[in-house]
Structure 1
Amino acid sequence: MALSPDFFDRSTLTVARDLLGRHLVRIADDGTRLVGRIVETEAYTEGDRAFHGWGLYDEETGTLRREGRAADLFRAPGTAYIYLIYGMYWLLNVVTEPEGRGGGVLIRAVEPLEGAAHMQQRRAAAKRPVELTNGPGKLTQAFAVDDRLHAALLTEPPLFFTAGQPVDDAAVETSARIGLTKGVNRPWRFFIADHPYVSPGVPSDQRA
C-alpha cells in the first residue's frame, strides 16, 4: 500500500529520516515493477539557502511568488519535484510540509529489491550491481524517472512509496549534504551506516 499524503505532511527533517528503509516503487511503461529500498536522503526547507524555492516566500507579507518550477516545492505534500542537473541527470524529490510551506526531500540512493535486470538495461554504464542506484542521478535512470513525472502525486502509481521496513536510529548516520556551495554546514543528509548502496559523494562541509 502506498504511503499517504499525511506521511509527507510533516517536518521535512522528520520525513527525510523516516523515508530510510521505505520502498520506492516504479511501475514502468511496459508494466515492469521496479522496487528499491531507500538508504540515503537529503532535506531542504524554505529557510535554507540551498533550497530551490529560496526567496519565493515573503515572510513579511505572507505571499508566495509562484514563479518557475521551484514554486512546485510549495504544493501539496507528496508531490514530485524533479529537476535536471548537468544537463543530463534527473533528480527525484518529494514535497513535504503543509501546502504553501516549502520543503522537499531528495532521494539520493536506493538498494534494488525487484527488477534489477531491467535497471541494468537502463544503466549500461554500471559495471557493478552497486553502481545501479548508489546516487540520485543513477537511481532515476534505473527507475525511468524523468520530467514526465514532475508534479505528479507520489502516493499512487506509476511512482510511489510504500512502508517497507523502518530503520532503527542506531543504524542511521547524518552528515552535511553533498554537492552544495550554500547551507554546507547543515547535517541534513540521512543514510544507513555502512550500507553499500549509499552514494560515494563527499559531504559539502568537508570540501568547503
Structure 2
Amino acid sequence: MEPLPASFFDRSTVSVARDLLGERLVHEAPSGDRRVGRIVETEAYTEDDPACHASHLSRDPKTGAVTGQGRGEDLFAAPGTAYVYLIYGVHWLLNVVTEPKGTAGAVLLRAVEPEEGIDDMQAERGVERRVRLTNGPGKLAEAFEIDGDAHTKSLTAPPLYLAAGEAVDDAQVAQSARIGISKAVERPWRWYVAENRFVSPARPSG
C-alpha cells in the first residue's frame, strides 16, 4: 500500500480529518504480518481549541517560540508525525499531527473497519466479534499494537503509516460534536461514515 505523503497532512486540521475517511491505517510487523483498517471516524483538534493539548501553551511575541510544558509541545511537530498518548492510565490513542510545522494541530483516529490481520487483532484484544475490534480509539490502538513507542514517529512510511484508500462521498459523511470532552463541545469536529457499523458507539459530548 502507498503511504500518504507528508503534504497530505500539511493542511487545515479540519480538512485532513474529513479527508482521512476512507484512507487506511497500516501496521507492518517485523514477522511480515500486516494489519490494515479503513478509517471510518476521526476528530480534529487545533491550537486555538480549548480541548486541544496545546491550548495552554503560548508563543513568545518576539521569536514565535512555544513556551510552556507538557505533551502538547509535540503537536507543533512536522505534519504526518504520530502523537500518541495514554488516557486513564490504560488506553493509548493515536493521532496524526497536521498543519505546517510550528502550528499545532492533530487528528484523532477514532475507529477503523478491520480489513487485514483480523486474527491477530482478535488475539491481541481477546475479542472475537469483528465489529468490536476497532470501534473506538483505545480499541483501535490495542488491536494494531500501537503504544507510546510510536509517539513522534512518522506516519508516512512503514512500519506504522497511513495509506491511500478510497474517497468517501460527502453524502455518506456525517458530523457531530466530539466525544469525551468538556470544552468546545459546540464544535462539530467529529467526522464519520454514516451507518457504518464500525463507528464507535459513544455519544457526542454536550
> For this structure pair, what is the TM-score category when the shorter chain's length is used for normalisation?
over 0.9
Specify the alignment match of 1:185 in structure 2.
Answer: 186
Specify the alignment match of 2:4 in structure 1.
Answer: 3
Deviations 1:139-186 (A, max 9, x none): 100000000110000000111011110100000000000000111110
Aligned Cα root-mean-square deviation (Å): 1.2
Decide whether the 8 Å contact of 1:28 with 1:144 is kept in 2: no
Counterpart of 1:160 in 2: which secondary structure? strand
Asked if 1:81 is matched to 2:83, the reply is yes
Aligned mates of 1:109, 1:132 — CA distance in 2 = 9
Specify the alignment match of 1:23 in structure 2.
Answer: 24
Residue 69 of structure 2 aligns with an amino acid whose one-letter code is E
Deviations 1:79-107 (A, max 9, x none): 00000011110000000000000000000
Specify the alignment match of 2:70 in structure 1.
Answer: 68
Deviation of the 1:59 alpha carbon: 7.4
The more displaced of 183-192 and 60-69 is 60-69
Counterpart of 1:108 in 2: which secondary structure? strand
Deviation of the 1:109 alpha carbon: 0.1
Aligned mates of 2:169, 2:197 — CA distance in 1 = 17
Counterpart of 2:114 in 1: which secondary structure? strand
Asked if 1:95 is matched to 2:97, the reply is yes
Specify the alignment match of 2:58 in structure 1.
Answer: 57
Identity score, percent: 58
Counterpart of 1:152 in 2: which secondary structure? coil
Q: How many pairs align?
A: 204
Specify the alignment match of 1:113 in structure 2.
Answer: 115
Counterpart of 1:43 in 2: which secondary structure? strand
Deviation of the 1:70 alpha carbon: 1.4
Deviation of the 1:66 alpha carbon: 5.9
Decide whether the 8 Å contact of 2:56 with 2:68 is kept in 1: no
Specify the alignment match of 1:153 in structure 2.
Answer: 154
Question: What TM-score, normalized to structure 2?
Answer: 0.96
Deviation of the 1:127 alpha carbon: 4.5
Deviations 1:18-69 (A, max 9, x none): 0000000001243210000000000000010000111213374533126332
Counterpart of 1:36 in 2: which secondary structure? strand
Give the alignment of 1:119-130 within 5 angstroms: 119-124=121-126, 126-130=127-131
Deviations 1:114-134 (A, max 9, x none): 00000000010x252100000
Aligned mates of 2:72, 2:175 — CA distance in 1 = 26
Aligned mates of 1:149, 1:115 — CA distance in 2 = 19
Specify the alignment match of 1:39 in structure 2.
Answer: 40
Decide whether the 8 Å contact of 2:122 with 2:128 is kept in 1: no
Decide whether the 8 Å contact of 1:72 with 1:151 is kept in 2: yes
Aligned mates of 2:108, 2:120 — CA distance in 1 = 23
